[in-house]
Amino acid sequence: MSLYNFKKIEPVPTSTDFIDIILSKTQRKTPTVIHKNYNIGRIRQFYMRKVKFTQESFEEKFKNILDEFPKLEDIHPFYADLMNVLYDRDHYKLALGQINTARHLIDQVAKDYVRLLKFGDSLYRCKQLKKAALGRMATVMKRQKDSLAYLEQVRQHLSRLPSIDPNTRTLLICGYPNVGKSSFINKITRADVDVQPYAFTTKSLFVGHMDYKYMRWQVIDTPGILDHPLEERNTIEMQSITAMAHLRSCIMYFMDLSEQCGYSVEDQVKLFHSIKPLFANKPIVLVINKIDQVKPEDLPAEQRAWIEEIANDENATVLSMSCYNDLGVMDVRNNACDRLLAARVEMKLKSSKVNDIINKIHLAQPAARDSLVRMPNIPEGAKDRMKYDVNDPNRPKTEKDLEVENGGAGVYNVDLKKRYMLADDDWKYDVIPEFLDGHNVADFIDPEIEEKLEALEREEERLEQEGFYNEEEDMADSDEEFQKSTADAIREQKKLIIQAHRTAKARNYPTIPKKVTNKTVTVDDMGRHLSKIGLDGEAAMARTKAAGQKRSRSEAGPDEAVREAGADSRSEVADAEAGAQGFRNVRQKMEADKQKKLVQTQSNKMGKRGESDRGIQTKMPKHLFSKKTSMGTRDWR
């Protein structure tokens, strides 16, 4: 089914929409700004990229159109002929060929202009070459106006066609107009085909689906056909002829013996023989409709002979029904389905593939292990259940009867052990033994274990009283005592290692000096303290007093000299430093620093953004939002 789902074909835009789509995509997806510091090589690459991108966009759109539209050589012959009837095979292939030619022309235009752009010697020359390339591509597209419009009409009509699977189980309804074909498909399927009391109400193929024998069937209602040469049949009739010629189906030819359809019985019989070559190797069901008006038995002998002649065909079956009062409708449907199933099986058996399948099938037969005859055996309980009678008071009780007698549901518990088949019935309610190491624990239990245990306890009490062993005596083993002492020593050593590690970490921090509590200590007090502890207090006092005296200008360094010189000297020094960096004075250096920060602000905001990064530089491109113009040129493209 999915192979012939033409609803997935994308819409085909008109030539003007095609150009707008491609050019706007080029505008959005490629760089749009050339800065004045670009060299000529970068400018060439800029415009070559636009031409190549436009060509690739055209290529992508053309490829989608050519791939999605069905190729008449690759699809089923039914759909190929149906498209030939509806759209004209030559016109359809010519339109697709025009699209393919346009694709090659645009590829060639792009190659030629990219070759010329490689040798562009100025910004103006490159821009004009790009403009000419895109203009020639747009001109090629404008010439495809009629082909694109035709393909869009074909796409819309294809999407409205019913999804017909040419290989599934199909009932094909055909015949003269107004003989009850649409009424029949509405009765047996979920389809809703328009039914009117005039001819050619159905102008195209309609498909309905139904279920029969757990299988899905499709029923196709074809437009009515008339009895005249093939060359004179119109498009509506040719759809029916195409379906009958190519679909593997059961042909249901409808006839109206009452002639209310407007055509005589003789004309309907002639039409059957006229289109009979299309029914080769297909089961045929001749459906006599409207038997509520005229039955086959009511016909003159001559007309009955015509119908019997059709019935004598080995592939044909004559059935009668009435859609008005639903008489025989389902019998006709079931008979047609059975005929088609039998024909499909017969066709498969005649094919060459069936031998390969039969060779792969193997029917397994069990081999006899001895010559004994084993007759079927029915257990006694099963025999009783086979004779079970609800009204018999002496019948065997069922679990349901026991449940009712013993309190009902929720109170009665089913006894699952009573049907155990054991050597001794007394074993049924024994505790299920436990297994340990592959042995049944119950096999090793001594039935006199409790008596032996009591005797052993009495013997221990007697030995205790005689002083044979003392319970309070230390039972510790020497090896166990050694392991315990070793473990204690290890734990103690571990504690010492952790403590030493923490102490070492604490030494890494700087020693915080104590706060001075006596703030009235003088230099003389410090000298006396140093003398007491055996140090030279007078030398230390002399150094401290010298540090407190002010140095002369000759002893001071250059920085201190500048500080003492005043504001004028400081400004001169700053100007000298600015001059060393290439500025006239400090003010000019400060202004330069300010300008430097302003210039870098925007770049810092943009980060690593380049001119090829995606962005909408132009919020409203003119070629998309400007109004229609009646005069003038469109050079702004």
CATH number at residue 137: 1.20.120.1190
> Residue 298 and residue 279: Cα distance in Å, rounded?
28
pLDDT of residue 30: 92
pLDDT of residue 559: 53
* HSE of 208, CA atoms in CB hemisphere, 13 A: 22
Regarding whether 151 and 185 lie in a shared domain, the answer is no
Q: Which residues of the chain have pLDDT under 70?
A: 1-3, 354, 378-390, 433, 470-477, 506-520, 543-569, 605-617, 627-637
Is 515 exposed, middle or buried (CB count within 10 Å of its CB: 0-12, 13-18, 19+)?
exposed
Regarding whether 147 and 193 lie in a shared domain, the answer is no
Domain range enclosing 73:
2-157
Q: Which tokens hold the place of 79?
A: 């759909």
pLDDT of residue 1: 38
Regarding whether 184 and 125 lie in a shared domain, the answer is no
pLDDT of residue 604: 72
C-alpha torsion sign, points 502, 507, 509, 512: positive
Regarding whether 166 and 150 lie in a shared domain, the answer is no
Whether 287 maps to a domain, the answer reads yes
Minimal CA–CA distance to 340: which of 204, 213, 176? 213
Regarding whether 153 and 55 lie in a shared domain, the answer is yes
User: Do 93 and 69 form a contact (C-beta atoms < 8 A)?
Assistant: no
User: At 222, which helix (H) or strand (E)?
Assistant: none
Integer angstrom CA distances of residue 411 from 398, 402, 418, 497, 623: 17, 11, 18, 71, 87
Whether 134 maps to a domain, the answer reads yes
Q: Which tokens hold the place of 335?
A: 């008979």
Is 115 exposed, middle or buried (CB count within 10 Å of its CB: 0-12, 13-18, 19+)?
exposed
Minimal CA–CA distance to 117: which of 11, 188, 45? 45
Coil, helix or strand for 510?
coil
Q: Which tokens hold the place of 13?
A: 């835009």
- The four Cα atoms 116, 118, 122, 127 give a dihedral, to 10 degrees, of 60
Regarding whether 232 and 171 lie in a shared domain, the answer is yes
Regarding whether 253 and 233 lie in a shared domain, the answer is yes
Integer angstrom CA distances of residue 75 from 69, 172, 254, 397, 560: 11, 21, 30, 70, 100
Regarding whether 127 and 59 lie in a shared domain, the answer is yes
DSSP state of 552: P
> Residue 377 and residue 387: Cα distance in Å, rounded?
16
Q: Decide which of 157, 191, 219 is a domain's last residue.
A: 157
Among the residues of 143-264, which ranges form H helices? Answer: 145-160, 181-188, 235-246
pLDDT of residue 398: 82
* HSE of 206, CA atoms in CB hemisphere, 13 A: 22
Whether 437 maps to a domain, the answer reads no
Whether 532 maps to a domain, the answer reads no
Q: Decide which of 350, 369, 386 is a domain's last residue.
A: 350
> Residue 432 and residue 440: Cα distance in Å, rounded?
10
Coil, helix or strand for 522?
coil
Integer angstrom CA distances of residue 356 from 71, 104, 351: 33, 48, 10
Whether 228 maps to a domain, the answer reads yes
Q: Decide which of 133, 157, 181 is a domain's last residue.
A: 157
How many domains are there within the chain? Answer: 2
pLDDT of residue 197: 75
User: pLDDT tens-digit profile of 504-539?
Assistant: 776 655 555 555 555 567 778 878 888 888 777 777
pLDDT of residue 125: 94
626: left (phi over 0), alpha (psi -120 to 50) or beta: beta
Regarding whether 230 and 168 lie in a shared domain, the answer is yes
Helix %, strand %, coil % of the chain (to 5): 55, 5, 40
Whether 581 maps to a domain, the answer reads no
User: Do 336 and 250 form a contact (C-beta atoms < 8 A)?
Assistant: yes
Give the strand order in the sheet containing 215-221. Answer: 206-212, 215-221, 170-175, 250-256, 284-289, 316-320
Neighbours of 15 (CB within 10 A): 19
Whether 105 maps to a domain, the answer reads yes
Is 335 exposed, middle or buried (CB count within 10 Å of its CB: 0-12, 13-18, 19+)?
middle
Query: What pTM value is reported for the model?
Result: 0.54
Regarding whether 193 and 336 lie in a shared domain, the answer is yes
Whether 616 maps to a domain, the answer reads no
The CATH number of residue 284's host domain is: 3.40.50.300
Q: Bridge-partner residues for 289, per DSSP?
A: 256
Regarding whether 148 and 171 lie in a shared domain, the answer is no
> Residue 46 and residue 34: Cα distance in Å, rounded?
8
> Residue 293 and residue 295: Cα distance in Å, rounded?
7
Regarding whether 151 and 39 lie in a shared domain, the answer is yes
